[in-house]
């Protein structure tokens, strides 16, 4: 797991495949809280209700933090299945 203190607000969260997962709102405990406006909307095709609220991703899925990106150890389509809704 990467250093959680390196994760900052507005960083892009991407899957291991380079696909956009969301944008960091902040780190809350052992999870990354994603912004509402961008919380996995690109991936959840036909979600019909997943937009408009926060999602969380476990810090255990973070492989690396580099520049302004948080890279996950799972592909984006798999990472969203681990998200917890708020």
What pLDDT digit, counting tens, does each position of 51-64 carry? 567 789 999 999 99
CA 67, 70, 75, 80 torsion: positive or negative? negative
Its pTM stands at 0.80
Spell out the domains of the chain, with CATH numbers in brackets.
4-85 (2.30.30.240)
pLDDT confidence bin for 46, thresholds 50/70/90 = very low
Q: What is the mean pLDDT of residues 20-45?
A: 79
| pLDDT surpasses 90 at 44 | no
């Amino acid at each position: 797991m990467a250093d959680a203190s390196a994760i900052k607000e507005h960083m892009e969260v991407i899957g291991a495949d380079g696909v956009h997962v969301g944008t960091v709102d902040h780190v809350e405990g052992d999870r990354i809280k994603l912004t509402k406006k961008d919380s996995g909307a690109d991936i959840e095709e036909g979600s019909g209700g997943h937009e408009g609220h926060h999602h969380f991703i476990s810090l255990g899925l973070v492989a690396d933090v580099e520049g302004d990106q948080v890279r996950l150890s799972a592909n984006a389509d798999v990472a969203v299945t681990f998200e917890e809704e708020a």
